Structure 1
Amino acid sequence: MSVPHNQPRRIRWLLLAALFAVTAPVTAGDDHDHGHDHGHRQHDAHVHGVAALNVAVDADTLLVELDTPAANVVGFEHPPRNDAERAAIAEARETMADGAALFVPNSGAECVQMSHKVSLDLGSPGDHAHTDGEIHADAHGEWAFTCAKPASLSQLDVQLFEIFPGKEKLRVQLITPSGQRGAELTPDSHKLDL
C-alpha cells in the first residue's frame, strides 16, 4: 500500500523544505538591489554558474533538492525560440529525472531513487521579463532515495558538474541526524561528506 508509505514521506519533504527556507543563509547577491523593490521576486541566489543544493538524511531516507538558474541546465533562460531549444529543455527534464545519475550515494548504503519532481519551465514569449529587461528562469528538482543500509551512508558524489557543465559552484545546506551545516562544492571538489 503506497499511500500510507508516501504520506509520511511527503510530510517529511514539507518539514524539511520549511526548515531549509528558514535556515537558508543570505547570499552574496543581496547588495545588488540596494533595498529597492521592483515589484518582482528577488533573485538573490540567481547567479549563473551557481546553484543551491539542499541535502537531508532522515532515517533510511536521503532527500535532495536543487534550485538553479535555467541557464546552468539548458544554456539559456528565455522562452524556447526554435525546435533545438525545445529539445534542449525536454532533454534536460529527462536528465534531471534520473536522480541516481546526478547524485550518487556511496555504494555501501545501497540507496535507490524512489521519487522525483522536476520543474523546468522557461515559459512563452513575454514571460519572466522584469522592468530592467532581465529574464530569470529557474530549474528546480527534488529527489528521494531510500537506503537499505542507512548507517553506512557517508558520502554523496554530486555529478551535476559533469552532467550540466554550466555550473561552477553549489552552495549546500546539509541536515543529518547529527546536525546542520553548510558546504560548497565545485567541479574539482564534488563529493559531499554526510
Structure 2
Amino acid sequence: MHPRPSLLLLLLVALSGTSVSNDSRAGDDDAGHRYSSDAGHHGAHRQHDAHVHGIARLNLVLEVNELHMELLSPAANLVGFEHPPASAANQAALDNAVAALRDGDQLFRLNAAARCELQTVEIVSDLLKADSPVPAAPHVDVGKDHSHNDENHGHDGENYEHVASAHADIDARYQFACVKPQSLKSLDVVLFEVFPGTQELQVQFVINEHQGGETLTRADDVLRF
C-alpha cells in the first residue's frame, strides 16, 4: 500500500491540475511519513512561515469519498498564549482547546446532504506531542463550557507531553467519510464562536473538481464550494 502524501501536497498538486500517481506517492514516502510522524517539528516549521496572530488557515481536499481537512493556527488564537503552560489557568485553557478541536464536526459543519462523518482527528503542536491520530471524540456541544477537573489531570486519555516553543502553532487534522461526496456544497465555520481570538480564516479547497480560495470572518463564516 502506498503511503498517503501530506494534505498540503495534495492541495498544491490538485491546484496545479496535476494528478498524484502511485509512483509520485511512493516517491513522497519520506515527506508523507515525516508529516504524519514528525509534524511537531517539520509541520511547525512550515507553519511558522505564515504565523500571524488572529489569522488561521484551513485546507480541504476531497479524495473520492474521503474529505481531508487541516486547520493551521497560531496557538495564541486558540489558547491566548504561545509558551508551555506556566499555570493552572494556562493548562486548563490548553486542555479546553484540545477538547474543542477534537470535536471537529461541530467546529466545521458540512452540509447534511453529503452525509459526512468524522473518522479521525490528529492534533499536533510545539505545545504538546501527539503520538498518533486518535478516534473522533463522542459528540460534545461546543457551545457549552469545557470544564477542567483538577482532580482528573490525565487529559481524558490524551497521550501528550509539553515541549518548549516560541511562536507556537496548533495544527488540527480531520478525516471525514462522506456517503454522498458529490453533494458537498458548503461548510459552516463555528470556529470563530468557539475561539474568539481567531479573526480571519484563509481557506483553500479542492472539492468535486472545484478549487479555489476564500477568506472567512466572523461576519462571513460560510464557505460554498
Q: How far off its partner does 1:87 sit?
A: 1.4
Question: Does structure 2 conserve the Cα–Cα contact (< 8 Å) formed by 1:89 and 1:120?
Answer: no
Q: How far off its partner does 1:120 sit?
A: 3.6
Paired residue secondary structure (1:165): coil
- Distance across 2 between alignment mates of 1:23 and 1:77: 33
Which position in structure 1 is the counterpart of 2:8? Answer: 17
Q: How far off its partner does 1:119 sit?
A: 1.5
- Distance across 1 between alignment mates of 2:207 and 2:218: 24
What residue ranges of structure 1 are gaps of 5+ in the alignment? 1-6, 25-40, 129-134
Q: How far off its partner does 1:193 sit?
A: 0.9
Question: Does structure 2 conserve the Cα–Cα contact (< 8 Å) formed by 1:52 and 1:170?
Answer: yes
Q: For residues 105-124 of structure 1, what are the structure 2 equivalents within 5 Å?
A: 105-122=110-127
Equivalent residues, number: 163
Question: Does structure 2 conserve the Cα–Cα contact (< 8 Å) formed by 1:156 and 1:193?
Answer: yes
The alpha-carbon distance between structure 1 residues 93 and 126, as it changes in their structure 2 partners (threshold 3 A), is: closer
The alpha-carbon distance between structure 1 residues 140 and 185, as it changes in their structure 2 partners (threshold 3 A), is: same
Which position in structure 1 is the counterpart of 2:100? Answer: 95
- Write the letter of the residue equivalent to 2:88: D
- Write the letter of the residue equivalent to 1:17: L
1:144 aligns with 2:175: yes
Q: How far off its partner does 1:114 sit?
A: 0.7
Question: TM-score, with normalisation over the residues of structure 2?
Answer: 0.65
1:159 to 179, 190, 211: 190
- Distance across 2 between alignment mates of 1:160 and 1:46: 18
- Distance across 2 between alignment mates of 1:95 and 1:120: 15
Which position in structure 2 is the counterpart of 1:79? Answer: 84
- Distance across 2 between alignment mates of 1:23 and 1:59: 13
- Write the letter of the residue equivalent to 1:114: Q
Question: Does structure 2 conserve the Cα–Cα contact (< 8 Å) formed by 1:93 and 1:120?
Answer: no
Q: How far off its partner does 1:176 sit?
A: 2.0
What residue ranges of structure 2 are gaps of 5+ in the alignment? 16-44, 129-160
**Backbone CA RMSD of aligned residues:** 2.5
Which position in structure 2 is the counterpart of 1:178? Answer: 209
The alpha-carbon distance between structure 1 residues 125 and 149, as it changes in their structure 2 partners (threshold 3 A), is: closer
2:75 to 54, 70, 79: 70
- Distance across 2 between alignment mates of 1:126 and 1:100: 28
Q: How far off its partner does 1:64 sit?
A: 0.7
- Distance across 1 between alignment mates of 2:63 and 2:163: 42
Q: How far off its partner does 1:19 sit?
A: 3.3
The alpha-carbon distance between structure 1 residues 126 and 59, as it changes in their structure 2 partners (threshold 3 A), is: closer
The alpha-carbon distance between structure 1 residues 16 and 76, as it changes in their structure 2 partners (threshold 3 A), is: closer
- Distance across 1 between alignment mates of 2:217 and 2:123: 22
